[in-house]
Amino acid sequence: MEIQGCLDSVDQFLNLKLSNIQVLNEERYPHMLSVKNCFVRGSVVRYVQVPVDAVDTELLQDASRKEALHVTSQQKAVVA
């Protein structure tokens, strides 16, 4: 099932809350036509596509650098 909508939240288990959803294959899932908001359990998600223009790449790169520095400092502390 493919669902398109606005991502409201994600938790540590990759559970997703979506609003204003639209099921892309309505003929196969007609019972979903009346659903506007949903919760998707993270263990059943295969792919998440995010539009390129919706991603702040500089913020993502900064967060990745900070995480890498944190992991490196933890590894050095364990070795010392």
Reported as half-sphere exposure (CB side, CA atoms, 13 A), residue 47 has a value of 6
45 and 19, same domain (yes or no): yes
Long-range CB contacts (within 8 A, 24+) of 9-13:
11/42, 13/41, 13/42, 13/43
Q: pLDDT for 9-42, tens place per residue?
A: 999 899 999 999 999 998 999 999 899 999 999 9
b/e map 43-61, b = 16+ CB within 10 Å: eeeeeeeeeeeeeeeeeee
34 lies in the same domain as 4 = yes
Structural domain containing residue 71:
53-80
- This model's pTM is above 0.85: no
Structural domain total, the chain: 2
Tell me, what's the pLDDT at 80? 60
Same domain, 36 and 1: yes
- In a shared domain, residues 2 and 19: yes
Instruction: Give yes or no: residues 33 and 16 share one domain.
Output: yes
Question: Distance between the two ends of the chain, CA-based, in angstroms?
Answer: 50
Report pLDDT digits (tens) over 45-78.
999 888 888 888 888 888 888 888 888 888 877 7
pLDDT at 22: 93
- Please, which pLDDT band fits residue 5 given cuts at 50, 70 and 90? very high
